[in-house]
Amino acid sequence: MTRHVLFVGHTGRDEALKAVRTAAARFAAAGMTVRVLADEAAELDLPDVVVVPHGEEAAAGCEVVVVFGGDGTLLRAAQLARPSRVPILGVNLGHVGFLAEAERDALEATVDRVVACDLVVEERLTLDVTVTSDGDLVTRGWALNEASVEKASRRRMLELVAEVDGRPLSRWGCDGVVMATPTGSTAYAFSAGGPVVWPEVEALLLVPISAHALFARPLVVSPDSVLAVEVVTPGAGVGVLWCDGQRSVDLPPGARIEARRGKQPVLLARLHSAPFTDRLVAKFDLPVRGWRGRAGKDGSDPPSA
C-alpha cells in the first residue's frame, strides 16, 4: 500500500525550495509518494509527485502534512489538514517558528522519523467562530491560534462590549480584542500582553488590545465558556475579524462575534518529548544561565540557552 505525505511550502523563498526538494528526494527513496498543491507545483518543479487541488480533500489519505516555512505557513496548512484529521509537522524556515517541530539542519533525520512512523501526535484545541448581525448569520469560521476583532482604521477607536457565558463583562474603547487558544497564547495574544498558557491546559483567552478602561486585563476562562464581542461603534466599516491572521471578514455595525471551543482539534506531530518550558526557552532565547535545578538529583540536563 502506497504511503502519502502532503507538502506545503513557502514557495517564495529559495531556502524553502531547497528544503522541499531535499525532503522529496528522501521520501521518494523510501518509497513514499509526495503530494503537492496545484498552486505550488510549478514553482516546486518536483519529479514523480502527485498534484492535488487546494481544498479540504488535499490531505485525505496522507500520513502527515509536512510544512516548510514559519508559523504563518503552518497555519495555512492547518486549513488543509484539519478536515481529514491528518497531523502537521513543521520544518522551521522562519524566525521564531513556535509551532514548528524541526529545524532545517535536521531535515534528513526528520524525514527518516516520518518514514519510520516515529512521531508523537498532540491534539490542539481550536476555536469555532460565528459572526451575526441582527440575529442573522454573517459568516462562520475557525482558528487554531486566535480570532481577533480589530479596528479597520488607524484613526478611529473601536467600541466593543465583551461578554463571557452570556453575561456582559465590560465595554472598551480599544484597538481590538484577541480571543485565543493555549496554542495561540504565544502568538498575537502574547504580543498584546496576554499570558503564556501551556498547551496541555484546556482554556480560552480573552485579551483586549490597547484598551482605554480601568479594567482591561487578560482573562483565562473555562474551555467550555463562550466568549462574545459586540461592536457598538456607529457607522459602517469600523471593524474586521481575523482568524489566525489568514482569513478576514468586515464587520457590520452591531456585529456580534462569538468564539467557543472548536468541535474539531488540529493535530500536531512532534519529534521530541521535551517539556514546554524548554520550548519557551529555546524559541524566545530566554536567559537561564546560573540555573542549578535538580540535575544532580535525577540526572536531567539544564536547558542549553
Long-range contacts of 245-251 (CB under 8 A, 24+ apart): 245/72, 245/75, 245/145, 245/148, 245/188, 246/72, 246/75, 246/76, 246/79, 247/141, 249/131, 249/138, 249/139, 249/141, 250/152, 251/131, 251/149, 251/152
Active-site entry in 71, 118, 136, 285: 71
Question: CA–CA distance from 194 to each of 15, 75, 216 (Å)?
Answer: 33, 20, 11
Question: CA–CA distance from 186 to each of 26, 68, 97, 99 (Å)?
Answer: 33, 20, 11, 10
- On whether the CB atoms of residues 243 and 147 are closer than 8 A, the answer is yes
- 3-state class (DSSP) for residue 54: coil
Residues facing residue 49 across a β-bridge: none
- On whether the CB atoms of residues 24 and 85 are closer than 8 A, the answer is no
- On whether the CB atoms of residues 260 and 160 are closer than 8 A, the answer is no
Is 71 among the residues known to form the active site? yes
- Residue 33 identity: T
Contacts of 91 (CB under 8 A, 6+ apart): 19, 23, 66, 67, 68, 69, 100, 101, 102, 103, 104, 107, 110
Give the number of residues written for the chain: 305
Residue listed under C-alpha cell 534528513? 108
Catalytic amino acids? 71
